[in-house]
Amino acid sequence: MRRFILAFAVAALVLWPAPAVAANFKVNINVVRQDDGVTSTEFWYNDQVLWRLTILAGGAKPVTAGGSSGAIFLTPDIVNGLFLLKVQ
């Protein structure tokens, strides 16, 4: 119970606007749903990308032009009647 209260207090301090601005915290979460069914999520902390996740439509293959995007691709698929989640 103490850990829960402590975690709640820390989360409240980080997410509360005035102390977060005073401590110079910048947290941003972007979720983008595209027309082809691809969902992309980015988690930014202090103007740096910590996590970039792309969830592709069933059976889709990631296509990049140029260099690597640095994203983790999750592709759901069904193989031999079993649900398969490919991580690329």
Structural domain boundaries of the chain? 26-87
Once rounded to an integer, what is the mean pLDDT over residues 59-81? 66
- Residue 80 CB coordination number (10 Å): 5
pLDDT at 82 over 70: yes
Q: What is the pTM of this model?
A: 0.46
pLDDT at 22 over 80: no
Can you tell me the distance from the alpha carbon of 52 to that of 24, in angstroms, rounded to the nearest whole number?
22
pLDDT confidence of residue 69: 62
What residues contact 34, with CB distance under 8 A and at least 6 apart? Answer: 40
